Amino acid sequence: MAASAPSYASGTSTTPLLGETIGQNLERTVAAHAGRPALVERATGRRWTYAELNRDVDALARGLLAAGVAQGDRVGIWSPNCAEWVLLQYATAKVGAILVNVNPAYRVHELEYALNQSGVRLLVSATSFKTSDYRGMVDQVRPDCPALERVVFVGADSWDELVAGGAETPAEALRERMAQLSPDDPINIQYTSGTTGFPKGATLSHHNILNNGFFVAELQRWTHEDRVCLPVPFYHCFGMVMGNLGATSHGACVVIPAPVFEPAETLRAVHDERCTVLYGVPTMFIAELNHPDFDSFDLSSLRTGVMAGSPCPQEVMKQVIERMGMREVTICYGMTETSPVSVQTRVDDAFDRRVATVGRAHPHVEIKVVDPATGLTVPRGTPGELCTRGYSVMLGYWEQPDKTAEAIDSARWMHTGDLAVMDDDGYVTITGRIKDMVIRGGENIYPREIEEFLYSHPDVLDAQVVGVPDPKYGEELMAWVRMRPGAEPLTAESLREFCRGRLAHYKVPRYVHVVDEFPMTVTGKIRKVEMRERAVQILGLREEGGNGAS
């Protein structure tokens, strides 16, 4: 019998990579679509055509030049989603400053770290939002951030002053600066939420993120007719790359439904603005589908979109296609360090491919699955660590060459830390994180498989499975579940009965914990590390055993 092919694939494409800066690309779109809608901010009712957007971007860019922002200087942005976020994204790209995305959920300790680690000279910040007093926190850290020379607050006099300061700066000065820029220059630093220690600043170039946003949109078949609803955060690649850059590279319109995700505002934005595209992480789509007023919104304009950010439950994908009408919805897989997308389903993939896999290699990107112990490529159908290589791999972690070397090997392969299987046709299934794999009595268990099974329970709305210490088996499984409204809480006994004859005995969770919500990052990623820590306390266990995985 012939040996199975290796788990390697490269994304071929007849569409070439874009060899321009973000500013050049925006201006090319403006020339083609000047009068078309470019940006809608629902909270304020403000709207921009492409000509108006470019005008305001240039005004802000000249303000940055007048403020002394040099090529390569770091400019921070700390704010929920708003139009000014978008203006600053493109203005910094035009002057060659490196935009440093600061998570709006950060507090004083994390803010100070990000500003100092990246050396931010100018910070643009929200004044306040809900319970967050951004101005107060900025005042607290300023004395300890020696590089920080100026702080500008969105919607305040300081913003108007920044823009007005560029009035005397001639347009030629901006042209001259843009002419000095290379697509390979660093343009963006995004801090990855490390589970241990301080976050690392993934440093990305024009070439990295412009092309990734472009091809994510290409695979959804966007045109200048599309209207893109973005409830996902701009500070993350999902919003600013896959959303904003995907839209501006195609002449599509960005719709900001609200400063942060709110299911009703998202549904209302799709309804009112006739959006054709909707983005979200699975928890967002679950919240929208289960909103009590869901049926009152007309979502018939929806065609495509992206579900990404964490594993996408098959049952949720089915409902998004059937109930929301997103017949061409795609799943993307990636990480900040790869700009972010490496693998995506196609709009014309068979239904089972689109709900059960994360798709195939992205255009111009290589992927492989390797044995984590040896680094050798495994045969197709064999689990291993997913690695990716190509234009999308970051320049490195900002001023952390040691951490960069741990993630990117000498052949420029980015090691994702995710477990994956590639099938004979090159489709990839993510089976979990290497660190999430549970070893129970010598059996390797992938929580994702059990989570997918739990979604088939009629009373379960959402499920997450983690390993907890066990003196006999090393680890046991614990299921955290969210119940559908009105359903009886799931117990370990009732779950065992549901699993009987349908799941191998060692895969049946020993413990069940019913919750209203899971601990999550702001981007909607489940914090399994925190779930494990809380599980140990809830169950009164001692940390022993361990999962044996690196």
- Given this model, what pLDDT does residue 544 score? 41
Closest CA to 209 of 57, 89, 59, 36: 89
Per-residue model confidence (pLDDT) at position 549: 28
CA quadruple 207, 209, 210, 211: dihedral, nearest 10? 70
Instruction: Give the tokens for residue 405.
Output: 């070397």
According to the model, what pLDDT value does residue 355 have?
Answer: 83
Question: Cα(365)–Cα(381) distance, rounded to whole angstroms?
Answer: 20
Question: Which pair of tokens denotes residue 114?
Answer: 């990000």
Segment (H or E) for 390? strand 384-390
Tokens encoding 137: 């926190």
**Contact 277/266 with Cβ under 8 angstroms?**
no
Check residue 193 and give its pLDDT. Answer: 64
Q: With helix as H, strand as E and coil as C, how does 156-178 read?
A: CHHHHHHHHCCCCCCHHHHHHHH
- pTM (two decimals): 0.86
Domains of the chain: 22-422 (3.40.50.12780), 437-539 (3.30.300.30)
Are the beta carbons of 246 and 197 closer than 8 angstroms? Answer: no
Q: Write the pLDDT tens digit of every residue in 492-532.
A: 999 989 998 888 888 899 999 999 999 987 667 788 889 99
Is residue 313 reached through a cis peptide bond, with omega within 30 degrees of 0 on the bond before it?
no
Q: Which residues contact 102 (CB under 8 A, 6 or more apart)?
A: 76, 77, 78, 111, 114, 115, 123, 191, 235
SS3 per residue for 285-317: HHHHHCCCCHHHCCCCCCCEEEECCCCCCHHHH
> What residue ranges of the chain have pLDDT lower than 70?
1-2, 193-197, 522-523, 542-550
Check if the beta carbon of residue 290 is closer than 8 Å to that of residue 482.
no
Distance CA 430, CA 418 (A): 7
Q: Number of helices (H) and strands (E) in the chain: give both, helices first.
A: 18, 26
Contact 193/104 with Cβ under 8 angstroms?
Answer: no
Give the count of beta carbons closer than 10 Å to the beta carbon of residue 347. 15
Structure tokens at 376: 């050798």
Torsional sign, CA 439, 441, 445, 447: negative
CA distance 190 to 269: 28
The pLDDT score that the predictor gives to residue 541 is 83
Residues linked to residue 142 through DSSP beta bridges, in sequence order: none
**Rounded Cα–Cα distance for residues 282 and 309 (Å):** 8
pLDDT in tens, 163-214: 999 999 999 999 999 999 999 999 999 998 654 457 899 999 999 999 999 9
